[in-house]
Amino acid sequence: MPAGILCYLSQSFAKMNNVLIREATINDCERMMELVNELAVYERAPQEVTVSMEHFKASGFGDKPVWWAIVAEADGVVVGFALYYIRYSTWKGQRMYLEDILVTEEWRGKGIGGKLMDRLIEIAKEKNFSGMLWQVLDWNEPAINFYKKYNAKFDPEWVNVSLEMN
């Protein structure tokens, strides 16, 4: 193997070893929102992000949090995160609803998404949730292929429905 490739692989491995998966704190919120906006651009809907920073922080770290998150931190910078909340099913009980899992573009393909997903699965088991649910855009092949590695079940029967209050 050429020395340049070996050096690159060693640097990539070192970067992966320096990635810390931890619970998000209120101090991570600004960076998390930067990543949310990056995701919105990727998903071709940047205008859809309308939540204020104050509301975002209060919803995760106020008196009655409605979401929780873990972050992937590399060299002191949050490079990815996963945000979830509890969804209740009358058939299945409490389930983890994964609102977002994302890794910033320059860090994709380095195993960070897998580390986040593995930690989410651990959390779901620790909290005795009956399962995990999430959505993925039908054109997002990289995400679909990622979820297939986890033997995720894709459900073609249900239609997304929403009602805006603004």
Catalytic residue numbers read 147
Distance, CA of 15 to CA of 103 (rounded, Å): 14
Distance, CA of 78 to CA of 67 (rounded, Å): 18
- Detail the DSSP E strand segments found in the chain: 19-23, 68-74, 77-89, 93-103, 132-133
Q: Which two tokens stand for residue 160?
A: 């997304």
What sign does the dihedral 63-67-73-76 (CA atoms) show? negative
Nearest of 110, 108, 124 to residue 70 by alpha carbon: 124
* 88 Cβ contact partners less than 8 Å away, ≥ 6 residues apart: 94, 95
The per-residue DSSP string of 97-119 comes to EEEEEEE-GGGTTSSHHHHHHHH
